[in-house]
Amino acid sequence: MGFAGAMAVAMAVDALLGWPSWLFARIGHPVTWLGRLISAIDAAWNRDSDPPAFRRAAGVAGALLVIAISVAIGWVLQSLLPWGWMEIILAGVLAWPLVALRSLHDHVAAVAKPLQAGNIAAARDAVSRIVGRDPATLDEAGIARAAIESLAENASDGIVAPVFWGALFGLPGILGYKAINTLDSMIGHRSERHEAFGWAAARIDDVANFIPARLTGFLFALLASRRSEALSCMTRDARRHRSPNAGWPEAAMAGALGVRLSGPRIYHGSATDEPWLNDGARDPLAADISRGLTIYRRAMLLLAGVLAILALA
């Protein structure tokens, strides 16, 4: 239960401080450190001249190496901590950079503010920082939809999942998960270069997020004023999403807000015809981003509270 307490501490510290820009300027961030390692392995092991089967095997080895190094670092750090409450506090502080609670909130709120003021250009610029779709093609509904989807999906990937694995296994768990998630974001996509090399990264990420994604969806539904609609939409539409996991928090949020999410969009000039979540509902507006942030804050507060109770039990 000490691991649960450490994750509650990490959430509390991040909610209060985030990751200060002055600290990032001086030492970077653990995710950027992982990114350098992954980039080096990608450059050295993912050779265009190799056949797909060899590149897939190299990708498996590279992913396992990054995860093993991360878990080992977590284990060493945890083994050096003193016993008792000091261990919980120090482990929480060490886990703090791996919980993106405040960063996600601030980035999504930065989209809502100009959109509510009618400044579409500023809202497009803000949303381009958190999604990969082409911002120039987005109207108010498209911007709001992108921001809400990012909020829902990243609540799972950026907070619930690392906290879940950290509560189970401590620093090795949260560091191992962060390695998995960073691998997926960097090489787990279906591009020509990473179709084979990133296969393992994507599959491991799917497994690691299976429970956290569903837990996030249930947290959203539980704390929504439209609870039955959120649950119904989640259980009905989650599997329609292109991702085996992202559809759960996104569908729950769509039902909770009474809006439709996902659907057709444009990535890098190419249109993709994605199915709607909560088809038949209205398009989201700027005010719905703020309503989504309210649900998000409630869900994260409940999660931190449950972790604190487990630590004290």
| Contact indicator for 252, 156 with CB cutoff of 8 Å | no
Sorted by where each begins, the domain ranges of the chain are 1-312
- Angle at which helix 286-312 crosses helix 2-17, to 10 degrees, equals 140
Query: Cα(88)–Cα(90) distance, rounded to whole angstroms?
Result: 6
Measure the CA dihedral 289/294/300/303, to 10°: -130
* Closest to 209 in 3D by CA, of 255, 246, 256, 174: 246
Query: Cα(69)–Cα(72) distance, rounded to whole angstroms?
Result: 5
Q: How long a stretch of residues is the chain?
A: 313
Decide: helix, strand or coil at residue 265. Answer: strand
Phi, psi of 260 (to 5 degrees): -100, 140
| Contact indicator for 125, 135 with CB cutoff of 8 Å | yes
189: left (phi over 0), alpha (psi -120 to 50) or beta: beta
> Encoding tokens for residue 157?
């990937």
Q: In b/e form, how buried is each residue of 275-306, taking b as 16+ CB within 10 angstroms?
A: eebbeebeebbbebbebbbebbeebbeebbee
Read off the DSSP letter of residue 156.
Answer: I
Query: Cα(153)–Cα(266) distance, rounded to whole angstroms?
Result: 18
Q: Give the list of residues 6+ apart from residue 119 with CB closer than 8 angstroms, or none.
A: none
Q: What is the pLDDT along the chain (313 residues), one digit of tens a residue?
A: 689 999 999 999 999 999 999 999 999 999 999 999 999 999 999 999 999 999 999 999 999 999 999 999 999 999 999 988 999 999 999 999 999 999 999 999 999 999 999 999 999 999 999 987 778 888 999 999 999 999 999 999 999 999 999 999 999 999 999 999 999 999 998 888 999 999 999 999 999 999 999 999 999 999 999 999 999 999 999 999 989 999 999 999 999 999 999 988 766 666 677 899 999 999 999 999 999 999 999 999 999 999 999 998 7
